[in-house]
């Protein structure tokens, strides 16, 4: 997919150690999600072109901000944090927003959560066990598992983002 600014992603190295490889692939998929959103106005980022699905590019970025926060800070570090968008009344609140929701605000929040996630993982062993149990599974996780899950989560949602983008303006790409 080529966009107006011609941005690119940093390809992960093919010969790195495990930690560098995991960081590289996670950052690659983070960059891919932003790339899929690049150059679109807020109205198109909020659009849900795959009815009856409520998926939108803006919603996917909001969702991934929640996911970054949950796995790296709440589970790995055991921080007691409020949800960003989700509520008890609306478990899909990351995908439910008004026309007041903007890309600038969403991207800023996502970038902040990514930076906090990087800090949460920095210098810690991949074998480190989480300080908290998953709210859904009641299990502890290694940092290695969290990295692998995050790569999977981004990869899956980047596939969604690719379909959304193609429906919005016909842009395609890996």
| Cβ within 8 Å of residue 174, ≥6 positions away | 1
Can you give the pTM of this predicted structure? Answer: 0.93
Average pLDDT over residues 52-61: 97
Residue 137 has pLDDT above 90, yes or no: no
Q: What is the pLDDT of residue 7?
A: 54
CA distances from 152 to 84, 95, 104 (A): 22, 20, 26
Q: Is 54 exposed, middle or buried (0-12, 13-18, 19+ CB in 10 A)?
A: exposed
Backbone phi, then psi, for 129, in 5-degree steps?
-90, 145
Average pLDDT over residues 131-156: 94
pLDDT tens digits along 2-51? 444 445 688 898 999 999 999 999 999 999 999 999 999 999 999 999 99
């Amino acid at each position: 997919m080529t966009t107006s600014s011609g941005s690119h992603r940093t390809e992960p190295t093919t010969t790195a150690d495990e930690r560098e490889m995991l960081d590289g692939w996670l950052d690659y998929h983070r960059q891919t999600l932003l790339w899929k959103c690049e150059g679109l106005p807020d109205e198109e980022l909020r659009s849900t072109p795959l009815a009856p699905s409520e998926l939108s590019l803006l919603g996917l970025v909001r969702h991934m901000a929640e996911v970054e926060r949950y796995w790296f800070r709440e589970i790995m570090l055991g921080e007691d944090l409020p949800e960003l968008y989700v509520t008890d009344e609306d478990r899909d609140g990351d995908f439910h927003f008004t026309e007041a929701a903007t890309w600038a605000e969403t991207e800023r929040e996502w970038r902040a959560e990514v930076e906090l996630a990087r800090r949460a993982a920095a210098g810690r062993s991949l074998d480190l066990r989480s300080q908290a149990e998953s709210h859904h599974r009641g299990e502890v996780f290694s940092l290695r598992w969290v990295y692998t899950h995050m790569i999977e989560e981004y990869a899956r949602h980047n596939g969604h983002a690719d379909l959304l983008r193609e429906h919005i303006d016909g842009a395609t790409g890996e």
